[in-house]
Structure 1
């Protein structure tokens, strides 16, 4: 009796574009250097925030830990109000961006109307304009309608996102047209087709764009600084400037504690949803 033949091992496939040898070493070195470039400032902020002020410029392993810097930072500024303003701001902007972006992207991807290509080109042209170039005109417009020093004043220039429209349009165009036709045969209206077919299939894109939008507007500084004058409308980033006042001097321990409190929601959110964050970008095709 002959021994049973062993199945031939499957041929391994190699990626022709994968880095090899020296190229892989250079890429790994570059990634490590970039990681250190981002991690070292955060590590210093953590060290300074949890140690007394005299240890902000020297590293001593036996330095005592303290939470006094966080207490002083919280007492020096109305952080509760700043957090509320920032939460309202990023939620308002994201809600309008998703609603307007979804409707515009669906019209550009699936509706036939005169001037559709021209409208899309104009949207792409907006991506080439830096927001800072429009600051003066935006400020004049909001001043005329008496919205300066309000949360809507911060949000209005950003409620429609050219990047969001472009990203959703590209995603909607990948949805098979047969699903659209099948829903219409069942009697669905265009809005129902959008909400029941396109939106569920674009969920990874919504997650990816939502993370980008919240991160950007949570950290935005220049525009909120120009259009807000009071605590009632200032977000966190503008509120932090109270710690660099020339009258009080600069206390790096308190500044680092305040900075950690400001960035903590984003850091915790990224650590908790890191896998979803990466997968959303991969599925959405964001490079």
Structure 2
């Protein structure tokens, strides 16, 4: 009698336990398939980079290679000077980010906390950079750089992107959320504008700066059209252009080597995300929080 009552009670408790677990973890059940869907192109790229050309086009071959073919990576590095391309990409992306952090910080502080004639009109004109697609100003930027004698140089890939309307708007909104009492207290202590900006505002908007830095690095690391337009020598080209050269071989695209090159291009960003993923996620979560 006791066992007969005990068994339904245990089953009921078990069902309640699993129902509670399902309610607590239902989001994971939804996100896991989405994560696998997002990872599927990366998995395909990595697997293809370890195949032979025959296996890529053989319909009877399986998804995974019969034998891992790591020779695609050294052969890819031999086709083009990927070491030079990597160094150029780091220089270009790092220089753009450094310049943008300076310009957007100063501009955002001026638009958020200073009062001067024509402030609103100037800010509206500044935001036009966000409204127009970058491809719409390629010609004018190219002509300007040509008159400056910067075509086919590293600065040609950096100078047009030193200012960012999107970054200025993003940081201005964060500055406006900082209580003005903090800057007033710093001013009473004798701080000038630069000291107030450095000691009061910047420490409070670090999540916004990190979020913008992520967007900027990913955008300019993967940029293909502008570096292709302003460069014509291997010594100053970047990684996306080197990857494009692999796809335009005379005998057609060598897919294993092309995928090996793609892996080399995206690996630094993936490694950067894996190392700093918690800081990245926290920065985006706190960017939109007042």
TM-score range normalised by the length of the shorter chain: 0.7 to 0.9
CA shift in 2, pair 1:80/1:107, >3 Å: same
Q: Which residue number in structure 1 is paired with residue 229 of structure 2?
A: 226
Q: What are the within-5 Å matches in structure 2 for residues 25-174 of structure 1?
A: 35=35, 37-57=37-57, 58-59=61-62, 61=64, 63-174=66-177
Matched, 1:269 2:268: no
Aligned-pair Cα RMSD in Å: 2.1
- Distance of 2:101 and 2:65 partners within structure 1: 50
CA displacement 1:92-144 (0-9 Å, x = unmatched): 10011000100000000100111111111112222110000011111111111
The two structures have a TM-score, normalised by structure 1, of: 0.86
- Distance of 2:145 and 2:106 partners within structure 1: 25
Larger fraction in helix: 2
- Distance of 1:250 and 1:269 partners within structure 2: 29
CA contact (8 A) 1:47 1:56 kept: no
CA contact (8 A) 1:70 1:258 kept: yes
- Distance of 1:104 and 1:155 partners within structure 2: 19
Query: How far did residue 155 of structure 1 move?
Result: 1.2
Query: How far did residue 157 of structure 1 move?
Result: 1.3
Query: How far did residue 56 of structure 1 move?
Result: 2.2
Q: Which residue number in structure 2 is paired with residue 179 of structure 1?
A: 182
Of the three residues 255, 262, 280, the one matched with 1:252 is: 255
Matched, 1:217 2:220: yes
CA shift in 2, pair 1:116/1:125, >3 Å: same
- Distance of 1:120 and 1:36 partners within structure 2: 43
CA contact (8 A) 1:106 1:172 kept: yes
Tell me the secondary structure at the aligned position of residue 56 of structure 1: helix
Give unmatched runs, 5+ long, in structure 1: 1-20
CA contact (8 A) 1:53 1:251 kept: yes
The two structures have a TM-score, normalised by structure 2, of: 0.85
- Distance of 1:123 and 1:205 partners within structure 2: 19
Query: How far did residue 245 of structure 1 move?
Result: 2.7
CA contact (8 A) 2:47 2:64 kept: no
- Distance of 2:50 and 2:199 partners within structure 1: 50
